[in-house]
Amino acid sequence: MQKMHGLRQTRWTPVNRMLILIGMNAALPEITTDLAADLAALPPALADHLRGIAAAPAPFGGFPGLRLLPQDPALPQQKAAALAALLARNYGAAIENRAAVAGRLADLRAELARRGLAGLIIPLTDEFHGEYLPLRAQRLTWLTGFTGSAGLCIVLPERAALWSDGRYTLQLRQQVDAGLFELLHSIDQPPTDWLRKALRPGEKLGYDAWLHTEDALKRFAAAAQAAKAELVAVSDNPVDSVWTDQPPPPLAPVVPQPEIYAGQSSAAKRAAIAAGLHQQGVDAVLLTLPESICWLLNIRGGDVKHTPFALAMAVLRQDATLDLFIDTRKLAPETLAHLGPQIRLQPPEALDAALQALGAAHLTVQADPATAGAYPLQLLEQAGARLKRADDPCLLPKACKNAVELDGIRAAHLRDGAAICRFLAWLASDAQEGGVDELQAQDKLEACRRLDNSLRDLSFTSISGAGPNGAVVHYRATPETNRRLEPGNLYLIDSGGQYPDGTTDITRTIAIGTPTAEMRDAFTRVLKGHIAIARAKFPDGTAGQQLDALARYALWQAGLDYDHGTGHGVGAYLSVHEGPHRIAKGGSMVALKPGMIVSNEPGYYKTGAFGIRIENLVAVQVEIEKAENGKAWLGFETLTRAPIDRNLIETGLLSPEEIDWVNAYHAQVWTDIAPRLDDATRSWLEAATARL
């Protein structure tokens, strides 16, 4: 999946798409019921629990949290499911109710005035600073109506402004009332510039310190200071005070991730991290990233879309014990036993007091300023802790998959590859005449994946783009944008699955009918870049940044390029985007290490015409234990198993080594996937993997 650059951070799925999915896919029984009355008739705790379940995602239309709902004769399971679906639909509809925006903005201004604030910064993030927001944290959408994946809003007494980036220029205008909000471009008209002019001397601008990193706050503070105004932290978010029907935090089940997939016990992981803390004289580390906590504790949840996160925070001590701040209603019974006595369960609201206590004891506490909001860091320092700002210590060990995880990831890719092959065979037979559209195609692929019962979710909303839509890197098909796959089109589909043993992410570009010479030329250059990465061997210590140009060289020679990175890290049944490594132009010099998973996805996009991307996942592996210069030599093992469209390959542009690579890759696909297919699909695969 292609990672995009956002305004302050990056999200991958527009909220509206998620709501459409809930609305469309939830298998609603006949509902003849009055939701409000039904909820009022329930014991309040049960109604609250149901609201939390409904505020969690419903992969493939079902609410996993229902299985943990306490049994109550007043609420049979079928009725609970119906009420949850209705609640979720209402939550979504209310958040996107654009008619209510003017009233909400007025309510917020009144609330700010009550608090003595001139304004408020409303970023598009929550306290976990992740890729997906639970409904409760969709404050910006609720306030403005904008459903894009990158945004920032600032409300002042007489002005308000909403920023997004170039991808959303049109969508901003369609969704947001320009009479209420100035609609601005985050790069060309940065929020700090706007603030410098819009703030008046002496005014207080509020911010929720959970939702901004320290670095981001420094920039806002400088802008406020330039205007002789002041930045003021709010103790609770003013939006929440006026959002009367705000959904509660999501309640999706938290389940153990068995060691047969995780490959290492949580106790062993905690002991290793704790030993590192000890070595560095750190007493405790605050963990704010759900992926770190899920990895460390070998648990998985379902609180945000497409990603098996349990939203929680934790403090790990030097003695390897851990305080887990989590709503225990989420914990499946087997999870309690799995966590064991070294894990102290505490409610989320106990975190403040716990940080205060660490500070009062003058302990040395580590936290990651790049991924945590400023709030807990400030709290720790004010309470007297010695704060050590450093990378989340789980990031690197989580990124380097162990042998068991790698086996699982390989196995998941075989099943996923079979699904992709079924889909591609269908595409080759049924979609060559213009009778299939983008939404149908992505639904077909989902259906192919769901034939595997282990599939837990898609790993992101598929990017299914025909013709010019394929050139929109962040494209998501909607009924309004939906195009048929017409002869002469290129069709690009970027998709992935969440399996208990691994997360997949694959892009294939397919010729519908006969491709042009230009398409074949560009496709082959993208393929050359893909092969250059796939074949690369390099000394230990090399960062992905150093490899990036290898993927671009053949395109560059023709004056072509792509405006995104070449590869992102991928989790083991966790987030489809994870750090700390990547293959991209700037930034991180984190070295690639054995066991890291990274995507290999060069592309080319001709605006208004077609898009090309070829994406496989690869694992970093040792090629030579000790090369001539004493260093280990590393390379990549390609994990993804699906043919690359031979109709788009201009063999004359490939070197003998590149042709060998394609043939060897296709032979591997054939060997691994053919046994998993029916006869017809197998025949298709034989032709699709024939030697060049």
- Smaller CB separation from its own copies, 418 or 554: 554
Among 93, 589, 664, 667, binds its own copies (CB under 8 A): 589
Q: Would you list the DSSP string of 271-299? A: HHHHHHHHHTT--EEEE--HHHHHHHHTE
Among 202, 384, 553, 680, binds its own copies (CB under 8 A): 553
**Alpha carbon distance, N-terminus to C-terminus of the chain:** 27
116 exposed, middle or buried (CB, 10 Å; 0-12, 13-18, 19+)?
Answer: exposed
| Cβ atoms 435, 490 nearer than 8 A | no
Q: Does 62 bind its own copies (CB under 8 A)?
A: no
Q: State the nearest-atom distance from the C-beta of 651 to its own copies, in Å.
A: 14
Q: Does 516 bind its own copies (CB under 8 A)?
A: no
Let me know the angle formed at the C-alpha of 425 by 420 and 428, rounded to the nearest 5 degrees: 125
Four-residue CA torsion sign, 58, 62, 65, 71 = positive
Other residues' Cβ atoms within 10 Å of the Cβ of residue 339: 21
Window contacting its own copies (CB under 8 A); options: 60-68, 382-390, 530-538, 671-679:
530-538
Q: Does 549 bind its own copies (CB under 8 A)?
A: yes
Q: State the nearest-atom distance from the C-beta of 663 to its own copies, in Å.
A: 18
Window contacting its own copies (CB under 8 A); options: 184-192, 198-206, 502-510, 546-554:
546-554
Window contacting its own copies (CB under 8 A); options: 313-321, 564-572, 628-636, 674-682:
628-636
- Residue 456, C-beta contacts closer than 8 angstroms, at least 6 positions apart: 59, 308, 498, 499, 500, 573
Q: Does 630 bind its own copies (CB under 8 A)?
A: no
Among 279, 629, 678, 679, binds its own copies (CB under 8 A): 629
Q: State the nearest-atom distance from the C-beta of 489 to its own copies, in Å.
A: 20
| Cβ atoms 266, 287 nearer than 8 A | no
Q: State the nearest-atom distance from the C-beta of 607 to its own copies, in Å.
A: 9
The first and second tokens of residue 319, run together, are 């003695």
Among 48, 623, 660, 672, binds its own copies (CB under 8 A): 623
| Cβ atoms 430, 546 nearer than 8 A | no
x-or-dash string of contact with its own copies, 653-672, rule CB under 8 A: --x-----------------
Among 329, 633, 672, 682, binds its own copies (CB under 8 A): 633
Q: State the nearest-atom distance from the C-beta of 588 to its own copies, in Å.
A: 12
Q: State the nearest-atom distance from the C-beta of 569 to its own copies, in Å.
A: 19
| Cβ atoms 199, 156 nearer than 8 A | yes
Q: Would you list the DSSP string of 568-579? A: EE--SSS-SSEE
- Smaller CB separation from its own copies, 447 or 692: 692
- Smaller CB separation from its own copies, 452 or 623: 623
Among 5, 606, 646, 682, binds its own copies (CB under 8 A): 606
| Cβ atoms 407, 259 nearer than 8 A | no
Among 188, 561, 671, 686, binds its own copies (CB under 8 A): 561
- Smaller CB separation from its own copies, 443 or 660: 660
Q: State the nearest-atom distance from the C-beta of 558 to its own copies, in Å.
A: 8
Window contacting its own copies (CB under 8 A); options: 44-52, 200-208, 402-410, 553-561:
553-561
Q: State the nearest-atom distance from the C-beta of 611 to its own copies, in Å.
A: 14
Among 30, 245, 628, 679, binds its own copies (CB under 8 A): 628
Among 96, 283, 291, 548, binds its own copies (CB under 8 A): 548
475 φ/ψ angles, rounded to the nearest 5 degrees: -60, 140
Q: Does 433 bind its own copies (CB under 8 A)?
A: no
Window contacting its own copies (CB under 8 A); options: 4-12, 53-61, 556-564, 660-668:
556-564
The first and second tokens of residue 360, run together, are 């009062």
- Residue 598, C-beta contacts closer than 8 angstroms, at least 6 positions apart: 544, 567, 568, 569, 570, 581, 582, 583, 592, 617, 618, 620, 636
Q: Does 586 bind its own copies (CB under 8 A)?
A: yes
Q: Does 538 bind its own copies (CB under 8 A)?
A: yes
**Any alpha helices (H) in 26-67, and if so which ranges?**
35-41, 44-54
Tell me the C-alpha distance between 610 and 519, whole Å: 8
Among 342, 546, 588, 647, binds its own copies (CB under 8 A): 546
Provide the 8-state DSSP code for 563: S
Count residues contacting its own copies (CB under 8 A)? Answer: 33
Q: State the nearest-atom distance from the C-beta of 88 to its own copies, in Å.
A: 42
| Cβ atoms 329, 65 nearer than 8 A | no
- Residue 220, C-beta contacts closer than 8 angstroms, at least 6 positions apart: 121, 191, 192, 195, 205, 207, 212, 231
Other residues' Cβ atoms within 10 Å of the Cβ of residue 211: 23
> Which positions touch its own copies (CB under 8 A)?
532, 535-539, 542, 545-550, 552-553, 556-557, 559-561, 563, 585-586, 589, 606, 623-624, 627-629, 631, 633, 655
